[in-house]
Structure 1
Amino acid sequence: MSQLKFNITDVSVNYGPFTALQGINMEVKQGELVVLLGANGAGKSTIFRAISGLTKPKKGEIQFLGKKVNGMSPDKLVKLGIVQCAEGRKLFPEMSVSENLQMGGFVHRKNKKELKMIMEHVYELFPILKEKKGDHAGSMSGGQQQMLAIGRALMSKPKLLMLDEPSLGLAPLIVKQMFEIIQRINKEGTTILLAEQNASAALKIADRGYVIENGQIVVKGSSDELLNNQEIRKAYIGA
């Protein structure tokens, strides 16, 4: 099998008469951490929605492990190993921490032993979740809720984990912790596609990146190339 894990070829998405994505080409290889940079409304979330099967591309192809996956239902994509941690966390606030995690592990519900092992690993990554496993998700701080959202996504044992703006609205110290954990998850073998506005923090842990503006990829390169690109620094890092 080729090392290529996932690729998007010439994908366009329309919302009615509005073109949200135009001619998107991207690839993510086994074990990589790839960042997708862009301002709010640039098209990052639409790319994620197209990959997750929540939005149907007007044209183009999405391939995962050598198989065309656009047109597949979101639940089938999760079973294949494509899992999204959505922007805004989307937790079940009245459910406990452990119940939220169990919802994330729904695809493994018949294998109780495996489910327990995955949950123990999530608790090891995020000790605060174990401490608060009986608490309502809605009672937790923003940072803790984001940890729970990532933990819930990990419960499906993703091959490709998509994180949509995980640092949004969090304090700088929590952001630093979050990116350290994301880097650890990647080093443990999970391929990650990360959509972020916090370019500086994201590029420090990423292998490569793509910059999207107005629904089109305008720049791509290694994290070092993007960090040293003066236009990128001016637009996204403020330096």
Structure 2
Amino acid sequence: MLKLTDVAVNYGSFTAINHVNIEVAEGEIVVLLGANGAGKSTTFRSISGISKLSKGESHFQGMPIGGRAPDRNVREGIVQCAEGRKLFPQMTVQENLRMGAYVHRKKKAEIKDSLEYVYHLFPILKEKHHDEAGSLSGGQQQMLAIGRALMSKPKLLMLDEPSVGLAPLIVEQMFQVIEEINREGITILLAEQNANAALSIADKGYVFENGEIVVQGTASELLANDEVRKAYIGA
């Protein structure tokens, strides 16, 4: 579904990522691991079309996307749920969700179905659909951010640090929902620092350091890798 080949992104004279090679098959959950600033978010931005490639190639479903506009990528099914949620705090829960469906705004029946799906995944959002997004708890805001992304009807859903700042019980629930979304046929690319939780649901992963991939393998291989366990799992 997605293939990055020798991708690099420069911001001026600073190289944010370099020699990045990633493959994501349809139906997989793939995790990008690494500390803050390691290059995970820049990789997401390069896939979305927000950050332009300095070199290399990126393909989605066999089509080149390296120079494609972000809005076209969303229409084609590449949807990013950004780190920090980026909600509209003074808009209601339902208004935020409808903003996620903007590229499909003429398809009223599909928007209704998408809303029902999001409310099925996150019943608390239905309960609070008239509340302002800024009044929600951190966990509820993360649910809303994921729900808004789902309203764009993604084929590939990129989740950037969805567990940051959340209580352990909420993190566990969040990863259960990510698994459920994947079972519905949506491919997941997940950037995480919570390696143990992420690898427990992933098919494979890539470890970033200083903008480059230093280790890659199946989830079981990474969980068994002593260096990965010591650096990211604490065991």
Q: TM-score, normalised by structure 2?
A: 0.99
Q: Structure 2: which 5+ runs fail to align?
A: none
| Matched AA of 2:11 | Y
Q: Distance in 2 between matches of 1:33 and 1:204?
A: 10
Matches of 2:163 and 2:197, distance apart in 1: 9
CA-to-aligned-CA distance 1:120-176 (integer Å, 9 cap, x gap)? 000000000000000000000000000000000000110000000000000000000
Match 1:55 to one of 32, 51, 56: 51
Residue 139 of structure 1 aligns to which amino acid in structure 2? S
CA distance in 1, matches of 2:66, 2:147: 26
1:19 alignment partner, SS class: strand
Match for residue 61 of structure 2 among 58, 62, 65: 65
User: What letter is aligned with 1:197?
Assistant: Q
Give ranges in structure 1 of 5+ residues lacking alignment: none
Aligned equivalent of 2:82: 86
- TM-score, structure 1 as length reference: 0.98
2:162 to 143, 156, 166: 166
Aligned residues: CA RMSD: 0.5
Q: Once the 2 structures are TM-superposed, how far is the Cα of residue 107 of structure 1 from its aligned partner? A: 1.4
Matched, 1:96 2:92: yes
2:121 corresponds to which of 115, 120, 125:
125
Q: Percent identity?
A: 70
Q: 1:236 aligns with which of 226, 232, 235?
A: 232
Deviations 1:204-227 (A, max 9, x none): 000000001001011110100000
Structure 1 residue 197: deviation in Å? Answer: 0.2
Tell me, yes or no, if structure 1 residue 44 matches structure 2 residue 75: no
Distance 2:64 2:207 in 1: 24
Q: How many residue pairs end up in the alignment?
A: 235
Q: 1:7 is matched by which residue type in structure 2? A: K
Give the partner amino acid of 1:201: A
The answer as to 2:187 corresponding to 1:201 is no
Deviation at 1:15, TM superposition (A): 1.1
